[in-house]
Amino acid sequence: MAVFLRDLSARAPMAADLAAVKELFAICAQVEGEQEGHQEGEDIAASWQREDFQLSSDAWLILSRQGLVVGYGAVWPVANGAAEPFEKTTWAFCVRVHPAYRGRGIGTLLLRLAEQRARSALEERGAEVGDSTLLITTVAYGNRSARALLEREGYRLERSFWHIVVEGQAPQAAWSERGRLTLELEEEEGPSVPGQRSPVRLLVPAGSSVVRHYCRYEKPLLPR
């Protein structure tokens, strides 16, 4: 499917674009009901400082005619198991599109740019017949448009899981000063058991506690 960006332009991000990208993530999180306890802005800033990540080749912006950042995509290598990080056998990516600009092919374009970058890295390391690289991404379970796009583009649902963050005060007896404790759990979602309640039912968010449901998708890429 061809992608045409009418009244939009694409370019690589610059350091000065960080605030606009953070704002885009915050808007998307609010629409998807994940604004509580959301920290993706800090994650973006950290990812831009990685030694194996280059803004000029590993990220893309989509801008409106007025200069508003309406789309962002990025891809980066992931060290997996015993494989050396520099082999780049697995890549992760993220795509965000402003709610007012969805349905125009922006997400499809950014996803394919990420695939192209990961496939180029595979070819650059002298891939042989049968070699492949794995492209992965994690999206909110409730983000139906993103999940539909991934499945349409040949991505397979690898796993579904709950991410649970519970924050509380440290007991006085255990610490010289009171502080905040953060407990992060990831609960794999398996076959339902009669009478068993899901984590979202067992742990209702209270205060700064957060319960989120995510899906991880993956797709193997072969050199062209």
67: CATH: 3.40.630.30
The count of residues in the chain is 224
Closest CA to 157 of 183, 116, 188, 117: 188
What is the DSSP annotation of 203-223?
S---TT-EEEEEEEEEEEE--
- Asked whether residue 204 is assigned to any structural domain, the reply reads no
E-assigned strand segments in 59-155: 59-64, 69-78, 90-97, 133-140
pLDDT value, residue 37: 41
- Asked whether residue 106 is assigned to any structural domain, the reply reads yes
User: Tens digit of pLDDT for each residue in 148-202?
Assistant: 999 999 999 999 988 777 665 545 544 444 445 555 555 565 555 455 555 444 4
157 is written with which tokens? 């649902």
- Asked whether residue 189 is assigned to any structural domain, the reply reads no
What is the rounded distance in angstroms from the CA atom of residue 159 to the CA atom of residue 109? 25
pTM for this entry: 0.77
Q: Which domain holds residue 37?
A: 8-160+217-221
CB count, 10 Å around CB of 5? 16
- Asked whether residue 30 is assigned to any structural domain, the reply reads yes
Angle at 44 between CA 108 and CA 170, to 5 degrees: 130
- Asked whether residue 190 is assigned to any structural domain, the reply reads no
Mean pLDDT within 25-31: 88
- Asked whether residue 179 is assigned to any structural domain, the reply reads no
- Asked whether residue 60 is assigned to any structural domain, the reply reads yes
| Percent of the chain topping pLDDT 70 | 67
The number of domains in the chain is 1
- Asked whether residue 186 is assigned to any structural domain, the reply reads no
